[in-house]
Structure formats: structure tokens, C-alpha cells
């Protein structure tokens, strides 16, 4: 997304304060004030998913916290992008929590309406229901998944890019291979995730933001990037 926006505006500056695994309170306390200080034109704020996975999380209380953060960002003049999460109905680990997710993301829609924010609705993105859009841990998107979301964000912003409405090519699914994949996921990802929750630690502990300052966008090759070529 940043590459595409930078291609249209030589004065474009970009910061990325996000750190994986952070809870809503941590984002509001540690990241939102920094974003307000930068006085940006546009802020993307995607938060709450990690909280919803934890026992006892209250989507109503979370929504009030999020609303205060959005109010602070809007008071500084920033345009704000909010995100719903992906529908968890296809994920065995999260399917039982679907009602909790739905309540919170309905709140997110309401907050977007109340404060005049733009909304990126990942819940409706059918392309994200395919495991080919996700990394091996089944909780974080891979490069293809992130590209789909970037396309949706750019569509919401009215910036030409590729279509986020996509259908994955059909492929045969071997039930035995799927069972092996499930067992591997259980062993390599679910068990360590549960162990971290029990220890009160996060995969983001000790990790700092990738781009903590609002600076000219430099692509991953070390120079200002041209927009990625659209895929057919």
C-alpha cells in the first residue's frame, strides 16, 4: 500500500508503528500517542484481534477504548482507516468465538460511522477464506494475503490498483495430507501459542516497530519503490 501511494506523490512520508501480538490497550497507550504527535494525514488502525482470542475479553469494553483512540486521532485532523477482522468460521480454534468477533466488529463499523472514518471490511473478503492467503501459523497472513488487503485498502482510498475480489484456482485436497498439516500445525504453532498465553508472554515481546519515524518511503531494495506490477 505504501509503495503504491509513494509512487503517486514524491513528498509521501510513511511510518509503521505496528508490532505483532500487541493487545488493544498496548496499542492505544504506546502507539496511538506517537501517531498523534506525527500529525499525519492518514492513519490505519487495526487492533483488537489478539484481545478477542483471550478468555474473558469483553468486546463492548474494547470498543469504548478503541473509540477514544479514534477520537484522539481524528481530533488531530487525521483521516482514519479502521478494519474489521476476517470471519473466523473456517478456523477451528476461533470458530467458537465467532459471536465475540462479530460483536466487536459491529462496534468497529459504528465507530467508523460516528467519527467519519474509512472502513476496510475484511469480513467480506472471500479471498481471505482460503488457506493459501495465510502463513503456516494460520493466524497471520502471508504475502498473498497482505497483498489482497492492500488492494482492498487502496480501493477504499480510491487509488487504482488490482482487484481484491479474487477466486483462488481450484485444487484437489487430499484428506490425509490435510490431517498431516493439521497435526503439524497443532504441534508447531497451537501448542507454543497456548504455552505463551499461560506464561503471559507475546510473540511481539522485545520487537520494535519497523518504521518508527515519519520519513520518505524507501522500498525494500533501498530506493524509492515503483508500484508493484498488477497481477492478471
CATH for 129: 3.40.50.1110
CA distance 55 to 114: 29
CA distance 61 to 79: 24
Q: Is residue 232 part of a domain?
A: no
What pTM was estimated for this model as a whole? 0.86
Total count of domains within the chain: 1
Q: What residues contact residue 193 under an 8 Å CB cut-off, 6+ apart? A: 137, 139
Residue 229 has pLDDT above 70, yes or no: no
Q: Is residue 31 part of a domain?
A: yes
Q: Is residue 224 part of a domain?
A: no
Q: Is residue 210 part of a domain?
A: yes
Mean pLDDT score, 76-81: 96
C-alpha cell at 26: 498496548
Q: Is residue 226 part of a domain?
A: no
Range of the domain at 20: 2-167+176-216
Q: Is residue 124 part of a domain?
A: yes
Q: Is residue 222 part of a domain?
A: no
Q: Which of 55-69, 136-150, 214-228 has the lowest mean pLDDT?
A: 214-228
Residue 221: band (very low, low, confident or very high) from pLDDT cuts 50, 70, 90: low
Q: Is residue 62 part of a domain?
A: yes
Amino acid at each position: 500500500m505504501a509503495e503504491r501511494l509513494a509512487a503517486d506523490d514524491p513528498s509521501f512520508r510513511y511510518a509503521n508503528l505496528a508490532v505483532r501480538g500487541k493487545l488493544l490497550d498496548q496499542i492505544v497507550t504506546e502507539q496511538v500517542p506517537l501517531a498523534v504527535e506525527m500529525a499525519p494525514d492518514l492513519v490505519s488502525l487495526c487492533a483488537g484481534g489478539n484481545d478477542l482470542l483471550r478468555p474473558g475479553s469483553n468486546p463492548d469494553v474494547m470498543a469504548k477504548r478503541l473509540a477514544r483512540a479514534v477520537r484522539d486521532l481524528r481530533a488531530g485532523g487525521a483521516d482514519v482507516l479502521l478494519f474489521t477482522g476476517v470471519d473466523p468460521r473456517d478456523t477451528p480454534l476461533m470458530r467458537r468465538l465467532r459471536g465475540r468477533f462479530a460483536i466487536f466488529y459491529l462496534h468497529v463499523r459504528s465507530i467508523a460511522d460516528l467519527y467519519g472514518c474509512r472502513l476496510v471490511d475484511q469480513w467480506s473478503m472471500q479471498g481471505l477464506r482460503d488457506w493459501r492467503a495465510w502463513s503456516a501459523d494460520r493466524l497471520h497472513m502471508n504475502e498473498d494475503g497482505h497483498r489482497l488487503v492492500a488492494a482492498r485498502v487502496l480501493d477504499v482510498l480510491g487509488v487504482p490498483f488490482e482487484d481484491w475480489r479474487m477466486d483462488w484456482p481450484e485444487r484437489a485436497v487430499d484428506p490425509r495430507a490435510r490431517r498431516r498439516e493439521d497435526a503439524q500445525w497443532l504441534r508447531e504453532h497451537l501448542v507454543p501459542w497456548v504455552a505463551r498465553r499461560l506464561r503471559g508472554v507475546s510473540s511481539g515481546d522485545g520487537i520494535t516497530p519497523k518504521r518508527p519515524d515519519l520519513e520518505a518511503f524507501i522500498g525494500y531494495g533501498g530506493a524509492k519503490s515503483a508500484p508493484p506490477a498488477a497481477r492478471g
